[in-house]
Amino acid sequence: MFTKILIANRGEIACRVIATARKMGIRTVAVYSEADREARHVALADEAVLLGPAPSRESYLVADKIIAACKATGAQAVHPGYGFLSENEDFAKRCEEEGIAFIGPKHYSIAAMGDKIASKKLANEAKVNTIPGYNDAIESAEKAVEIAKGIGYPVMIKASAGGGGKGLRVAFNDKEAFEGFTSCRNEARNSFGDDRVFIEKYVEEPRHIEIQVLGDAHGNVLYLNERECSIQRRHQKVIEEAPSPFISDATRKAMGEQAVALAKAVKYQSAGTVEFVVGKDQSFYFLEMNTRLQVEHPVTECITGLDLVEMMIRVAAGEKLPLTQADVKREGWAIECRINAEDPFRNFLPSTGRLVRFQTPEQTMFQSDTTRLQGVRVDTGVTEGGEIPMFYDSMIAKLIVHGRDRNEAIAKMREALNGFVIRGISSNIPFQAALLAHPKFVTGDFNTGFIAEHYGKGFRAEDVPHSDPNFLVALAAFVRRKSRERAATMSGQLPGYDVKVGEEYTVIELGHEGQHRYIDVHVDDYPSKHGVAVIQVEGKRYAIESHSRLNDIRITGNVNGQPFTAQIERGTLKNPLALQVQHNGTRIETLVVSRRMADLHKLMPYKAPPDLSRFVLSPMPGLLVDVAVQPGQKVQAGERVAVIEAMKMENVLFAAQDGVVKKVVAGKGESLTVDQVIVEFE
C-alpha cells in the first residue's frame, strides 16, 4: 500500500480523497494555484505544493508541474479526482512511465472510452445496446441531412470530443439538422480542437441513468447498481439519486451486466461509470463511459456501504476487489443536491465573492465512513470566510441524504436545505427546494426535459409555493416578540419610556414596487415556559417553541408539535429594520410593527428606483474579456455589447434597445463587480 499520495485537484473532491487517505493511514500532498492559497484542501493535506497562477491552464492542467510535485514530495501515486486531468490519457501514461501509480484506469482504457465514436464501436463489439445512428465523422451539412433522414427524426447531433453540453443539438427536421451540424462543428472546433461530429437517434422522454462499475487488475469487474441523473439544467446534473425510481429489477440487471461487459472489453481497472439513456419503455442505450470517479459517487456509497475512493486506491495498489457481485448491497435511498454559487433568480448567473456565512446542516454521515448511514452528509471544499474564485466551476458543496425509502430521503433533504446557511454570495438552494417539492419529482415522473419543461422561462420566487405561507408570518412575529421580551428586561429604563412587549402586532410582508401585504397577528405568551408563544394569524393558531438564540440565522424548534428548521435574518440591504424569513425555499421580507405604525406605513409613498436603462451593467462578478462597442457607435437592440467570463463560462451581454454609445466605462481585462457600469448610452 502507498504511504503518500498526491491529489491533482482542488475543492471538495480533493478534500474527499484526503478523508479516505487519512483513514487508511496514507499521507497526502495537495497542489494549489495562487487563487487557492488559503483553500480548505491545502489546510487539510499533510503537504502542499504551489503549481502556479490562478487560471487552470497555468496550474491544475499542467502535467509537468504535477509530476514534478510528486517527485519533490516523494508521492508514489496520484489521485486525479474529476475534471482537470482525470480523463487525460497522456497524463495517465506519463505517470506510469515516471513510476507513479495513477489512481484510476490504465491509459489505454481512458483512450478507448474517451472518444465517443470509438467507444460506440467498442460497445457494439461488446454487445452493449447502442442508439441507432451514424458513427463515423460526417464531412458536410448536406450529408448530415441525408443521414438524419435515414435514421428518422428526431436526431441528436453530437461532437465526438464533446462534453458539458457543448457541441450538442437536437434536430426535428432538415433545416434544424443542417444548421445544427454547422453549429456543432464550429463549437467542437473552438472548444475541443476536434471538429468531428456524428448523428444518432434522439430518444424521446429520455432518462439519464448511469451504472457504477468497479474493476481490479485481476480481471474482476462488478456493477454497484445505478444512479438516476435525469434532473439536469442545460445538460448539467442538479439532483442525483440512487436507486432510480423508474427502472425495474430486470432492467437494472440487464444494464449492469452490459456495463460490466463493456468494462471488461477495455480491461477496466478502478471506479468508472457507464452512462445510458433510457426510454419511457425501459429500452436503454449506451451513451458514454466516464473513466473516473463521478461527482455523484456519494449516493452509491450510501446504498452500498462502500467507500469508492478506498476501492480506487486499493485497486491502484494491486489488490483484488474484496467482494463479489452477490455481495453488492442496495439498502435505502440516497439523494444528492449540488449546491452551486449561482443566482437562480437572475437566470443562474455565476456568483463569486466571499462566503460571509457558511453553516452546513448537522452532519450524521461522513466522507470515508460507511458505518454511519441513514443521515445527512456534506462534501465541500470551502469554509466560512473563504473566497469563491471566478476561475473554477461553481460548486460550493454537495448535500447528500440517505433514508429508508425515497419519501424519507426527500423529507430529509428538504429539512437539510432549510438548515444550510450561505451568505455573501447567492446559491441555488431555493431552486433545489422548488424541485424537491414539485409533485412530479415527488412521484418520480420526470425525464431529462423536466427543468426545461417546468422552468423554461427562468426561475422566479413565485415558483416556490409554500404549503403554509402564514407559518413564515407567524415565525417573524414570534422572533420579534421574543426580542421585545428581552428588551423589556433590560435595567435602567426611564419610567414611562420602558419597552412595552404588547400582544397585537401587524406583520408587513414587503412586496415589489410598494405592493405590501398587511397581516394583523395576536401573540399569547406562556410566562411560565421559556421560548414558547402562540401566534394567531388569519384564524389559524401556531404554537411555536424554539430555544435558538435571537442572533442565530438558523433557528430550530417545533410548531404545533412538528419540528422545523428555518432561517431568520435581521436587516437587509433594502431595509435595516426588516426581518427576512426563509423556509422550504420560500423567502419573505417583513416588518413586524404595532398596529399604529402599520397604519402610518400605509401612508408612505413608494419611491421608484432610478432609471438604469441607459446603462449596460455587469450582471455578475467576472472578467471583462471583450467590449464590442465604442463611443459614438450606433447600436441596435440585440446587438452584442460585451463578454464577461466567470466560472469557466462566457456570458454575452446584448443591448436591450437601440441607442448611441456615449461612454465605455469599463475596459477589457478589468475585474467587474455585480451591477458595475460597463457602457453608458446617450
Report pLDDT for 239. Answer: 98
pLDDT tens by residue, 503-518: 899 999 998 888 899 9
**Per-residue pLDDT at 398:** 97
pLDDT at 528 (0 to 100): 61
Sign of CA dihedral 384, 387, 388, 392: negative
Q: What is the CATH number of domain 615-681?
A: 2.40.50.100
Contacts of 372 (CB under 8 A, 6+ apart): 364, 365, 366
Question: What are the angstrom distances between the C-alpha of 475 and each of 511, 555, 556?
Answer: 18, 10, 11
What residues have CB less than 8 Å from 375, skipping those under 6 apart? 363, 364, 365, 401, 402, 412
Rounded distance, CA 33 to CA 10, Å? 9
510: cell is 414587503
- CATH 3.30.1490.20 maps onto the chain at 133-201
State the Rg of the chain over Cα: 28
> Can you tell me the distance from the alpha carbon of 152 to that of 22, in angstroms, rounded to the nearest whole number?
54
* Among 533, 571, 567, residue whose Cα is nearest residue 552: 567
Residue range(s) occupied by CATH 3.40.50.20 in the chain: 4-103
Listed in order, the ranges of the chain carrying CATH 3.30.470.20 are 207-452
d(CA 14, CA 36) in angstroms, rounded, equals 12
Q: How many helices and strands in the chain, by DSSP H and E?
A: 17, 39
3-class DSSP state of 291? coil
How far is residue 50's CA from residue 60's CA, in Å, rounded to a whole number? 10
What CA–CA distance (Å, rounded) separates 271 from 256?
Answer: 14
CB 223 within 8 A of CB 257: yes
CATH code for the part of the protein at 133-201: 3.30.1490.20
Report if pTM > 0.95: no
Q: How far apart are CA 225 and CA 243, in angstroms?
A: 7
Place of cell 463569486: 352
Architecture of domain 207-452: 2-Layer Sandwich (3.30)
**Cβ distance 432 to 348 under 8 Å?**
no
What cell was used for 248?
425495474
154 neighbors 171 (Cβ within 8 angstroms): yes
> Do 154 and 125 contact (CB within 8 A), yes or no?
no
Q: Are strands 270-278 and 554-559 parallel, antiparallel or unpaired?
A: unpaired
DSSP 8-state class, residue 464: S
Give the whole-angstrom CA distance, residue 635 versus residue 651: 19
- 86 Ramachandran zone, left/alpha/beta (phi>0; psi -120 to 50): alpha
Residues with a known catalytic role: 288
Q: Any idea which residue has 425495474 for its cell?
A: 248
Domain 4-103 coded CATH 3.40.50.20: yes
Whether omega for the bond prior to residue 154 falls within 30 degrees of 0, making it cis, is: yes
pLDDT < 50 regions, the chain: none
CB atoms within 10 A of CB 201: 18
User: For the chain, where do the domains classified as CATH 3.30.700.30 start and end?
Assistant: 469-490+499-601
Grid cell for residue 240: 442525483
CATH 2.40.50.100 in the chain: give the residue spans.
615-681
Please report the pLDDT score of residue 488 as a whole number: 78
Q: Which of 558, 570, 478 is nearest to 522 (CA)?
A: 478
CA distance 113 to 467: 47
Q: How far apart are CA 588 and CA 153, in angstroms?
A: 47
The three cell numbers of residue 237 are 446534473
Whose cell is 461487459? That residue is: 261
Domain 469-490+499-601, second-level architecture: 2-Layer Sandwich (3.30)
Beta pairing partners, 400: 336, 377
Nearest of 224, 190, 200 to residue 116 by alpha carbon: 200
pLDDT score for 620: 84
Residue in this structure with the C-alpha cell 473552438, named with its chain if needed: 190
Whose CA is closest to 99, among 67, 54, 146?
Answer: 67
What CA–CA distances, in Å, run from 356 to 1, 347, 353, 359, 389? Answer: 41, 23, 9, 10, 14
DSSP string over 597-617: HHHHHTTSPP-PPP--TTEEE
